[in-house]
């Protein structure tokens, strides 16, 4: 077929450039030249999935009952496990209508606007942020309205300045890319805003369990009134090193869950039931692997932050996630600085890739061993 690109939908024309693909291409070019690459850009755990979860999958994969189409809403036993998991966070959920199985949190985030956003509807999207919030809005013909996140405000959006005619509001704490955290007071402000303006809230809580130094991140749904205005989307990817397994869940307001379920029932056939059984094993089994993961990331965080401080960089020590959000030390544009780092074999994500208000920062991921991080710091000193 000639000139296929002329047949692409206009939605694809207005999608922002996927900067990460460009960086991956440059990384591959460096590797082809024999450059030793330290990849601090990818937000993908380098540790394997805990063995008891893998064993559960193997056993479940042999069950013929798991070889047929799953339901789009997910197995009730999986949704019950999610409810039990949330009960430990003092959040009561009805697994029959307030929990929905997802094929990873990204899928749920991407499908949610299709359930509620009409052409031209405003959707509040933090900036900088995980790009899927904005992309999903565009694909649903909505209008993304950026909410600037600044260091001066603790990388929290100023809800008092948010437009009042929005259909949907995305928030994400602990935050990617800034690693910022939110407290109950902020969530109460969000609930008040949503209730007063009839706005649906979607809280992306993918890093809820990756916290350090005794800090415990609150669930948005633990705040009074949150169940009335929105949902929380979570994933087993980061907590249990299951990124490739594609399993997560949405929990919260039954009507919002029903809308998302309606979209899913028309667009996908649900998560493989053997993976759901493995998810049950993750949530109901021993949690010492999560504690060990927190300790591991804390050690890596300290190695990077202390190392950067020792060479004169100004860096905050995050309380959560496996990211470190760093001001560009020489004041150059973030993409330009990231290319400088690539010249010495270090991959970091430029802040501009997360939105215009991410400019001036780079994001480092703590997904390599401490010894590799220490080598990275030596190279970073050479750059600046």
- pLDDT, averaged in runs of 10, over the chain (384 residues): 71 78 84 92 94 98 97 97 96 98 98 98 98 96 98 97 97 98 98 98 98 98 98 98 98 98 96 98 97 98 98 96 97 94 94 96 98 98 86
Q: With 0-12 CB in 10 A as exposed, 13-18 as middle and 19+ as buried, what is 382? A: exposed
Residue 38 DSSP SS3: strand
Mapped onto helix, strand or coil, the DSSP state of residue 68 is coil
Give CA 180 to chain center in angstroms.
13
CA angle 216, 203, 275 (to 5 degrees): 85
CATH of the domain at 317: 3.90.1150.10
Q: What percent of the chain has pLDDT over 90?
A: 90
Residue 221 lies in a domain: yes
Phi, psi of 125 (to 5 degrees): -130, 125
174: preceding bond cis by omega (within 30 degrees) = yes
Classify residue 81: in a domain, yes or no: yes
Q: Is residue 2 part of a domain?
A: no
Domain boundary, last residue among 254, 284, 314: 284
Contacts of 34 (CB under 8 A, 6+ apart): none
Q: What is the CA radius of gyration of the chain?
A: 21
Distance CA 90, CA 87 (A): 5
Supply the CATH number for residue 162's domain: 3.40.640.10
What local confidence, expressed as pLDDT, does residue 4 receive? 67
Domains held by the chain: number: 2
Residue 37 CB-density burial (10 A; 0-12 exposed, 13-18 middle, 19+ buried) = middle
What is the tens place of the pLDDT at every residue in 74-131? 999 999 999 999 999 999 999 999 999 999 999 999 999 999 999 999 999 999 999 9
Is the pTM of the predicted complex or chain greater than 0.75? yes
Q: Using CA atoms, how far apart are residues 215 and 54, in angstroms rounded to an integer?
A: 29
Give the end of a domain, one of 256, 284, 312: 284
Determine the pLDDT at residue 2.
Answer: 54
Collect all residues with Cβ–Cβ distance below 8 Å to 256 and sequence separation of at least 6.
Answer: 115, 116, 200, 230, 231
Of 341, 304, 344, the residue nearest 325 (C-alpha):
304
Residue 55 shares a structural domain with residue 43:
no
> Quick one: tokens of 282?
């993750």
**CB burial class (10 A; 0-12, 13-18, 19+) of residue 278?**
buried
- Residue 3, in any domain of the structure: no
d(CA 345, CA 383): 11
Give the list of residues 6+ apart from residue 346 with CB closer than 8 angstroms, or none.
37, 38, 40, 376, 379, 380, 383
Domain of residue 152, residue span: 51-284
Domain's final residue, options 284, 301, 326: 284
146 bridge partner residues:
125
The tens digit of pLDDT for each residue in 147-164 reads 999 999 999 999 999 999
pLDDT, tens digit, 9 for 90 and up, residues 272-285: 999 999 999 999 99
Q: Same structural domain for residues 68 and 216?
A: yes
Residues 294 and 274 in one domain: no
């Amino acid at each position: 077929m000639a000139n296929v690109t002329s047949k692409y939908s206009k939605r694809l024309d207005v999608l922002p450039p996927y900067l990460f693909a460009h960086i991956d291409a440059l990384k591959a070019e460096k590797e082809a030249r024999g450059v030793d690459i330290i990849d601090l850009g990818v937000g993908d755990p380098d540790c394997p999935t805990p063995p008891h979860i893998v064993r559960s999958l193997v056993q479940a994969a042999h069950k013929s009952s798991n070889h047929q189409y799953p339901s789009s809403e997910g197995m009730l036993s999986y949704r019950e496990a999610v409810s039990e998991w949330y009960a430990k966070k003092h959040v009561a959920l009805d697994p029959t209508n307030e929990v929905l199985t997802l094929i990873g949190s990204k899928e749920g985030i991407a499908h949610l606007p299709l359930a509620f956003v009409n052409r031209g509807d405003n959707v509040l999207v933090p900036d900088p942020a995980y790009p899927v919030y904005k992309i999903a809005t565009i694909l649903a013909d909505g209008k993304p309205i950026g909410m600037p996140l600044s260091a001066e405000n603790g990388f929290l959006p100023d809800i008092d300045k948010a437009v009042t005619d929005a259909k949907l509001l995305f928030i994400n704490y602990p935050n990617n890319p800034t690693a910022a955290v939110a407290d109950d007071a902020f969530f109460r402000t969000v609930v008040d805003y949503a209730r007063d303006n009839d706005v649906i809230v979607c809280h992306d809580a993918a890093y809820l369990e990756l916290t350090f130094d005794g800090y415990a991140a609150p669930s948005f749904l633990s705040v009074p009134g949150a169940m009335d205005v929105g949902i929380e989307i979570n994933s087993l990817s980061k907590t249990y090193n299951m990124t490739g397994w594609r399993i997560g869940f949405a929990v919260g307001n039954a009507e919002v869950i029903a809308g998302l379920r309606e979209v899913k029932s028309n667009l996908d056939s649900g998560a493989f039931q053997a993976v759901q059984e493995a998810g049950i094993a993750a949530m109901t089994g021993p949690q010492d692997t999560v504690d060990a993961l927190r300790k591991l990331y804390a050690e890596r965080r300290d190695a990077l932050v202390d190392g950067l401080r020792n060479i004169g960089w100004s860096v905050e020590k995050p309380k959560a996630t496996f990211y470190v959000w760093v001001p560009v030390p020489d004041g150059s544009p973030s993409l330009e600085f990231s290319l400088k780092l690539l010249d010495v074999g270090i991959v970091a994500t430029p802040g501009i890739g997360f939105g215009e208000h991410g400019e001036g920062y780079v994001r480092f991921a703590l997904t390599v061993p401490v010894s590799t991080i220490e080598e990275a710091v030596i190279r970073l000193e050479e750059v600046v």
